[in-house]
Structure 1
């Protein structure tokens, strides 16, 4: 069914909250108005007391396909995403093989078209030796170019100064960066190994993947972008110090922007004592001071986008000793609910949360016809019940890894429905497995 009438919802969109009816027809938002009459052949949802939002656009996920399907794939993770109100995602290149050629990039689109329940796009990854591939990229073929400016995963570290300079100079589209300085991390790790005789506790993670490592690398990225006038987006900001690199205010006025992730709003270093390697990620979750500074930066627009960096690993892998346990958390299924907790706590306005989850990524990446509740736009929507608390249980986790760092936590809202291109793929209880998302188009 692609024709729907959603009645009496409170729309949260483009800085406004207001009650209206929304008609979905043939995959698009046909009409937004008051008191629409039901038409033949359409399903009607009474959304009184619910918020209707544009579907979340997640600009940073790791869905592990190809090569790491024992952790996740496009089918499992996209279903977890839509159950959490994410209707579009942009997936990272550190799969096996890495997405560092145009053929590997197109292979991901073919795979996702066959199995993804959500709309999708993919980054082309940078390496020290694929500059010509980057130069040849059609800007509409990828959401952006991803540079690991620091140790993270696989062989994708770009640390050749001449190569970095050339990529920033010649990139045909937006560059997104993971910023941590590898020599700083290596020195920190060597010191901790000696101090703890090789048995490093996970509580030391934010001191190994330190604030100094983040700031040094982010500062380099910003300096390169300013030198060449590059469109730069720095991912997963974790420190108060890095915030001085960015300007508050509207995204439309910026060439350099920043993103943070929902786990940096939820957790701080005090949570390592209870969650351990489950919240080990790169860059690391840091102090309560950093957490509060990040929330304030989201409020004033110094940070533009809120995403997940969804990165599942099996619970067995996470149970390994600190140095062997991989970094990353499964987050997409409960990301929107986690973000909305900032509204309930009074720390972020609801309108600003929606902007950072939906409007900002659509604008930043020039996503065509998505990210807003507008007549004529693609019908990607999420209906939230703000009066129905939800306690996370392991048995409901849809990600293939089968666990969540939020287990046992009660969120103050629930995801009642998610529509992707006008089809309801999540009804609050189950997934419609017949739904397939679309390849994201870019107005570039």
Structure 2
């Protein structure tokens, strides 16, 4: 591995900003000092730029295997790295669903060949594979994913005994998608009776997949976790009422129940359906401006612990179908950090809090080994950003295989200029080094 010396950076790390140089050797941060005069294979002058720990995205859907017409690990990890995300955790609702240890390992082998970012993959839980789930190694797998709501294939877990088995027996982190399916089906039928299937529109999405559906499921997950003392992580909180389910009075490392907010639920509201339609159709749905502000407040006051993307691309053709046929999900990894930095420019969040929620806390939450912080002896997962380099999202600069973004036309103030993954300069001023690959994430768990 080559050595890298970063000079004159403003480092944002562990709640403070300071000017320093960083020396990287053999994949790791060897030295952080006010002035380092060591020789290196690559020297980066970071004067005027901010050096952040690389973002760790704990929820992505990279669509490989089986859905590679939408995306694949290579294309989406390239977009992630260009956006300052150095590590990702990918979900099991690919085709086939990742419901066996054999299929899980095949994903890891694919990523080892093709991923530009560091990677981990969730083991999927279904209604009938608990024995296989319990074989999962907590040292090298990020967690077990349970769809307590909308899913594809054989992944909706709605059997009470199965849920109790998962929460009582799985010794590692259980991540849940929480929407009550019965409530959603009931709401959908009411809307179909009133408007007909052809009369349904994207504006109805947050009314069909409403706050009640989310809260019923999330509160049930919390109840199960408390009953069995499970390690629960609830994904993509989309309502204000759900934020009250979580504590903020104990250190994150001691929390047994944690929560995630996604960039799209912090950025968009139901007022945006009129202009963007199915392009902001997600599950759980983007809801009211009040929900959005309450989620943002929960991020700031630590009821919500991490920020992620739920990156879930579909083709333009799929998204342009009528509402009832258009799939839910959208691409976000290339623009998540710059979107959060836009909130910083608006005075809504500090740089330190962005770093905490997108890097530090994800590492703590998942007990990731030697990542998520700028520390000597840690893996060099780093991103340099220029906070004064305006640009606009357009089809010409989108790296997602699907070729679109819900942020198209959005002007951002900040730009990612360099991304270092496991000590390698993978992204440099708009150029991706296709020879460098990420590492498998490991976890410091007993």
TM-score range relative to shorter protein? over 0.9
Matches within 5 A, 1:56-67: 56-67=55-66
Structure 2 partner of 1:286 = 287
Structure 2 partner of 1:368 = 369
SS at structure 2 position matched to 1:332: coil
Alpha-carbon distance, 1:253 to partner: 2.9
1:190-228 C-alpha deviation (Å, 9 max, x unpaired): 011111121201100001111000000000000000000
In structure 1, what is the Cα distance between the partners aligned to 2:163 and 2:350? 38
Q: Does the alignment pair 1:10 with 2:20?
A: no
Structure 2 partner of 1:173 = 172
Matches within 5 A, 1:287-366: 287-366=288-367
Q: Is the 8 A contact 1:121 1:142 kept in 2?
A: yes
Alpha-carbon distance, 1:428 to partner: 2.2
Between the two proteins, the alignment pairs up a number of residues equal to: 443
Alpha-carbon distance, 1:136 to partner: 2.1
Matches within 5 A, 1:129-208: 129-198=128-197, 199-208=199-208
Q: Does the alignment pair 1:215 with 2:215?
A: yes
Structure 2 partner of 1:271 = 272
SS at structure 1 position matched to 2:134: helix
Structure 2 partner of 1:92 = 91
Q: Does the alignment pair 1:246 with 2:246?
A: yes
1:284-312 C-alpha deviation (Å, 9 max, x unpaired): 00000011111110101000000000000
Q: Is the 8 A contact 1:71 1:313 kept in 2?
A: yes
SS at structure 1 position matched to 2:190: helix
Alpha-carbon distance, 1:29 to partner: 0.5
Structure 1 partner of 2:236 = 236
1:119-147 C-alpha deviation (Å, 9 max, x unpaired): 00000010000011122222123100000
Alpha-carbon distance, 1:411 to partner: 1.0
Structure 2 partner of 1:432 = 433
Alpha-carbon distance, 1:177 to partner: 0.2
Q: Calculate the TM-score normalised by the size of structure 2.
A: 0.98
In structure 1, what is the Cα distance between the partners aligned to 2:172 and 2:421? 26
Structure 2 partner of 1:378 = 379
In structure 2, what is the Cα distance between the partners aligned to 1:406 and 1:18? 32
Q: Is the 8 A contact 2:140 2:441 kept in 1?
A: no
Structure 2 partner of 1:116 = 115
Structure 2 unaligned regions, length at least 5: none
Q: Is the 8 A contact 2:319 2:326 kept in 1?
A: yes
1:136-177 C-alpha deviation (Å, 9 max, x unpaired): 222123100000001222220000001101100000210000
Alpha-carbon distance, 1:44 to partner: 1.2
In structure 1, what is the Cα distance between the partners aligned to 2:131 and 2:240? 36
Q: Is the 8 A contact 2:112 2:440 kept in 1?
A: yes
Alpha-carbon distance, 1:367 to partner: 0.6
Q: Is the 8 A contact 2:8 2:21 kept in 1?
A: yes
Alpha-carbon distance, 1:421 to partner: 1.2
Q: Is the 8 A contact 1:152 1:282 kept in 2?
A: no
Alpha-carbon distance, 1:336 to partner: 0.5
Q: Is the 8 A contact 1:417 1:428 kept in 2?
A: yes
Q: Is the 8 A contact 2:268 2:286 kept in 1?
A: yes
Q: Is the 8 A contact 2:344 2:350 kept in 1?
A: yes
Alpha-carbon distance, 1:422 to partner: 1.2
In structure 1, what is the Cα distance between the partners aligned to 2:26 and 2:141? 26
Q: Calculate the TM-score normalised by the size of structure 1.
A: 0.98
SS at structure 2 position matched to 1:233: strand
In structure 2, what is the Cα distance between the partners aligned to 1:2 and 1:61? 30
SS at structure 1 position matched to 2:193: helix
1:27-72 C-alpha deviation (Å, 9 max, x unpaired): 1111000111141x42111111111000000000000000000000
In structure 1, what is the Cα distance between the partners aligned to 2:63 and 2:27? 29
Alpha-carbon distance, 1:26 to partner: 1.2
Q: Is the 8 A contact 2:338 2:415 kept in 1?
A: yes
Structure 1 unaligned regions, length at least 5: none
Q: Is the 8 A contact 1:83 1:428 kept in 2?
A: no
